Amino acid sequence: GGGGGGGAAGGATPSLGNIEGLGGDGGSVRQAFRAAVQAELADYYRLIAVLEAQAQVPMASALEAPTKSGGGAHGGGGTYLTLRRLSVWLAEPLRRLRLLAVLVDAAADARGGALLRALHEHAKHGDPATRATVERLLAAAAEPALRMVRAWVIAGELEDPRGEFFVASDPAIGEEDLWRSRYFINDEMRPPFISEAIAADVLRVGKSINFLRRRCDDESWERERAPAAAAAAGRRARRRRR
């Protein structure tokens, strides 16, 4: 297989120890990815708590319980944690932990759109469970990038203090060259699920709105747009709750 499985096979053994480095100054995409990984780990910790509770059941009482209730000898051990049961219950969580370790290693030195590109590469996997896990993490990590797209195409505002967005600006360019040279596409931060054509359209739309606001002193459109934007945000919130 490719993607997550291939990353684990080659090179050094992956480790979840790198998760501590996903926060800090790495930007909002890295922080969102870290939160998603921690949510996946929380499921694992809950399973461990259940298994620990099962391990506290004494073998004798677990074996006697079915007999007392008429289950017979063949029903013995219904609640006792055997090595075979432990192996079965941990098979899927261990596979997911290995995948998380591979993804954390892949994202160790990446940020913004480059991090999304690394996750997207691991989503190209033949195993549906692996693909679903990667896509879930990718969707969570992409939320900050989508907020940047919305701020740029709706308000012409570049909200990217860490340089994570595929639309970048050169602050050295003066206002007189705002339209021609200030804003450009940073291909290193363009995720693969955003084509070059779409990225160019995003650049043009946001640049046009930005130019109207900064060079033409046209703020009236924003007041006119506010009710429609609020209604759209409400619809998105309702869809998420469903």
Residue-wise pLDDT for 93-143, tens only, equals: 899 999 999 999 998 889 999 999 999 999 888 889 899 999 999 999 999
Per-residue pLDDT reduced to its tens digit, 73-87: 444 445 667 788 888
Query: Which pairs from 150-153 meet CB under 8 Å and 24+ separation?
Result: 152/202, 152/205, 152/206, 153/202, 153/205, 153/206, 153/209
Rg (Cα) of the chain, in Å, rounded? 25
- Distance, in Å, from the CA atom of 15 to the CA atom of 234, rounded to the nearest integer, reads 41
- Distance, in Å, from the CA atom of 51 to the CA atom of 80, rounded to the nearest integer, reads 10
Joined tokens for residue 183 = 């804003």
**Residues 189 and 169: beta-carbon distance below 8 Å:** no
pTM score, whole prediction: 0.71
Taking CA 186 as the corner, what is the angle to CA 180 and CA 187, rounded to the nearest 5 degrees? 130
